């Protein structure tokens, strides 16, 4: 090989080497650009998710006023949004005179509380009560839930205020539904199951001493959508609401502090549950939130989580 050929070969190899380096550099630059773009995309998604959570939190905060009431008249004292799992610092899972049934038929998921009909290990339907006894109570104010009710013979969901003080049992039932009862308590739907239509607000001065009640026919299927059930409790007066509409006023002198109760019981005017009663989460008493407010002149604070 002569000098000219050697020089040519050297030049070709040098050019090829530089081309490879350039190609590699381009690949590195491309990958870096792609990674940077991916990082920016992930960061953007994270920021979007963060913003969405912030917006959702803000929305929840903004709407935490009594539905249909003048917000400036109230101060929020209790807010359970069911967005942090089942909070045992707030809730007991049985009523004060019973042991908790070990069969679990309640959960907090999808941003709501669910209590569903279920047979226990002995094959029996059993009552489930969730309450704030010993953890939160209040005298006077506004109390509200947004809930969807279960279907089926025997189901008896309720939202109420209660206390056991020595031998006295003052009670304000904000919503009790007897789905399996005679119409209009419930109606037989196309699926062959009784669906809830009416419910009862009731005030009890003591056990067996009723101050006022009403069978309120909503003319709606209460198992299809969520509705707001509420009471405005003033000295000597209790006013009940359904989706912001006043339904009943009772003049009763209840002044004891009462705690909050959510439950799914069976029986009474709803009848005895049987094999036709749908079990499981798909037929749950679903609650989006439970909130309480004191009147502006009262003071109050949120329970610790």
User: Read out DSSP for 31-73?
Assistant: HHHHHHHHHHHHHHHHHHHHHHHHHHHHHHHHT-S-TTS-GGG
pLDDT at 217: 98
Q: Give the CATH number of the domain where residue 105 resides.
A: 2.60.120.200
DSSP string over 174-190: EEE--TTSSTTSEEE-T
pLDDT at 40: 52
* Total count of domains within the chain: 2
pLDDT (mean) for 98-112: 97
Query: Largest Cα–Cα distance of the chain, in whole Å?
Result: 121
2-21: pLDDT as tens digits: 434 444 443 334 434 444 34
Mean pLDDT of the chain: 85
Instruction: Verify that 75 and 18 share a domain, yes or no.
Output: no
pLDDT at 64: 87
pLDDT (mean) for 195-224: 98
pLDDT at 8: 45
pLDDT at 298: 64
Instruction: Verify that 31 and 70 share a domain, yes or no.
Output: no
CB count within 10 Å of CB 149 equals 27
**Does pLDDT of 52 surpass 60?**
no
Q: Model's pTM, two decimal places? A: 0.78
Instruction: Verify that 8 and 70 share a domain, yes or no.
Output: no
Give, as one character, the DSSP assignment of residue 215.
Answer: -
Residue 169 lies in domain? 63-295
pLDDT at 290: 98
279-302: pLDDT as tens digits: 999 999 999 999 999 999 864 444
Instruction: Verify that 102 and 32 share a domain, yes or no.
Output: no
């Amino acid at each position: 090989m002569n000098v000219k050929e050697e020089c040519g070969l050297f030049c070709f190899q040098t050019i090829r080497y530089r081309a490879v380096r350039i190609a590699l550099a381009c690949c590195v630059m491309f990958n870096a650009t792609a990674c940077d773009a991916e990082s920016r995309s992930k960061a953007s998604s994270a920021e979007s998710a963060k913003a969405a959570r912030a917006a959702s939190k803000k929305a929840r905060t903004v709407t935490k006023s009594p539905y249909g009431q003048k917000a400036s008249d109230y101060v929020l004292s209790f807010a359970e949004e069911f967005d942090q799992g089942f909070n045992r610092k707030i809730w007991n899972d049985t009523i004060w005179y019973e042991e908790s049934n070990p069969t679990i038929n309640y959960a907090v998921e999808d941003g709501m509380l669910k209590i569903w009909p279920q047979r226990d290990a002995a094959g029996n339907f059993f009552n489930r009560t969730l309450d704030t006894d010993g953890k939160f109570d209040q005298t006077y104010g506004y109390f509200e839930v947004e809930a969807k009710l279960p279907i089926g013979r025997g189901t008896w969901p309720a939202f109420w205020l209660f206390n056991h003080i020595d031998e006295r049992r003052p009670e304000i039932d904000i919503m009790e539904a007897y789905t399996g009862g005679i119409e209009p308590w419930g109606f037989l739907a196309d699926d062959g199951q009784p669906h809830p239509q009416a419910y009862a607000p009731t005030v009890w001065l003591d056990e067996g001493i009723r101050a006022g009640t009403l069978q309120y026919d909503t003319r709606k299927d209460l198992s299809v959508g969520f509705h707001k059930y509420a009471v405005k409790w003033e000295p000597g007066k209790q006013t009940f609401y359904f989706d912001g509409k006043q339904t009943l006023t009772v003049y009763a002198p209840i002044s004891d502090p009462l705690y909050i109760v959510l439950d799914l019981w069976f029986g009474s005017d709803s009848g005895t549950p049987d094999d036709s009663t749908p079990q499981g989460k798909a037929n749950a008493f679903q609650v989006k939130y439970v909130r309480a407010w004191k009147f502006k002149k009262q003071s109050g604070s949120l329970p610790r989580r």
